[in-house]
Amino acid sequence: MPDLANAFWTDAERHLVRYGSAFTPEIIDRAAGSFVFAADGRKILDFTSGQMSAILGHSHPRIVETVQRQIATLDHLYSGMLSRPVVDLARRLAETLPEPLEKVLLLTTGAESNEAAIRMAKLVTGKHEIVSFARSWHGMTQAAASATYSAGRKGYGPSAPGNFAIPVPNPYRPDFTNVDGSLDWKRQLDFAFDLIDAQSTGSLAACLVEPILSSGGVIEPPLGYFSALQDKCRERGMLLILDEAQTGLCRTGTWYAFERDGVVPDILTLSKTLGAGLPLAAVVTSPEIEQEAYDRGFLFFTTHVADPLPAAVGNTVLDVLIDEELDARARSLGDYLRKGLIDIAGRHSVVGDIRGRGLLAGLELVVDHETKQSSDELGTRVTKRCLELGLHMNIVQLPGMGGVFRIAPPLTATEDELALGLAILDQAIGDCAVR
């Protein structure tokens, strides 16, 4: 129906505000499992789980059943009212986490959860300065955006005062090096906090970081880094806030990415994966911090705080993660995915690095292995060719970094679906790299 499609794009161009990258040139009609389906019938494998969120795939039967049941009985309440789904989800989330993380605030988006966490940290410490990674993404609301450095800082006037960036410990592109050329992250971290101390007015409240930087290029700091970072925070009376929007709830092969490092954050933020594609987020902290925040009058009264409908969905997400042992599945499928990506790297010289954990993987494209020179044009071509072949991919292109594909298929994907995605990516890189 060419006329209907033309009308659709005419209406989109006339009436929609453009809010980021260009719109994918497909009219998406429906989605199921690991695939989305265009209005013309084209089947497209979704290697990003929607917006890195649909960890159970699209239209999971148990999620569909929960939404249908819950919306018919209890959908939305006055924000001061409580319901069983909310209290059940708070208790069950606490049961998945180490002590003392047991106090839960249920919200909607990752930006909102980070906003609440920053607000809580500032109130509890009585200070206002926030430290984050230089390639971070924490959201587009005021405090979250002020702690976001990968994009969106220019043209909007002053960010919140007291925000500082520290360098990302990137083993593939080390800035501080040992004799053998490997990343000297300890020296980098010491240098970073020397600069922070020089700039601080003595009001350091918190450090907000992702255990694996996803929008920053799927960069995982080396083992030991977060323990050392936590020590830096403790020395300065700062709280450590970990943003597990994209890494939490089995995505990396463990329930939470921070488990690898043996640290427990003062405040944990969750979103995306918690609602499996529906708007649900959480802030989790200790009774001690919650009590101090309460005593000081903590205020985060929003329209959809503690809403029963998304909370019911969150409970079903936990049910499926537990019943289907999706943490173990993410480890197994992650090994399969990584092996496939390494095979691709062995066939194409433009693949510079493979990284990530579980079912969150990164593939970095370069045009020169020695200099690690990147090419935005190559990344764009490969992304476009993947879509033509039936695979939706997301590529991160930041200054000073090659194009990095963020690969995050649903935890419910099959090996056959991963094999299909790998084959298409292999062909797309081959088709584009020879031009």
Which residues are known to be catalytic? 137, 210, 243, 246, 272, 406
Confirm if 45 and 420 have CB atoms less than 8 A apart: yes
The secondary structure element, H or E, covering residue 284 is strand 281-285
List the strands of the sheet with 204-209, edge to edge. 103-107, 281-285, 267-270, 239-243, 204-209, 129-133, 163-166
Quickly tell me which residue has 């292109």 as its tokens. Answer: 397
The two tokens of residue 185 are 């992250």
HSE, side-chain direction, 13 A CA sphere, residue 105:
31
| Residue 36 zone, left/alpha/beta (φ > 0; ψ -120 to 50; rest) | beta
The two tokens of residue 421 are 């995605």
Alpha helices in 82-213 (DSSP H): 84-95, 110-125, 142-146, 185-199
Tell me: cis bond preceding 2? Omega within 30 of 0 counts: no
**Helix, strand, coil in percent for the chain, rounding step 5:** 40, 20, 40
HSE, side-chain direction, 13 A CA sphere, residue 391:
27
What span, in angstroms and rounded, lies between the C-alpha atoms of 152 and 171? Answer: 25
Q: Cα separations (Å) of 93 from 44, 59, 117, 314, 386?
A: 33, 23, 17, 9, 37
β pairing state of 281-285 and 103-107: antiparallel
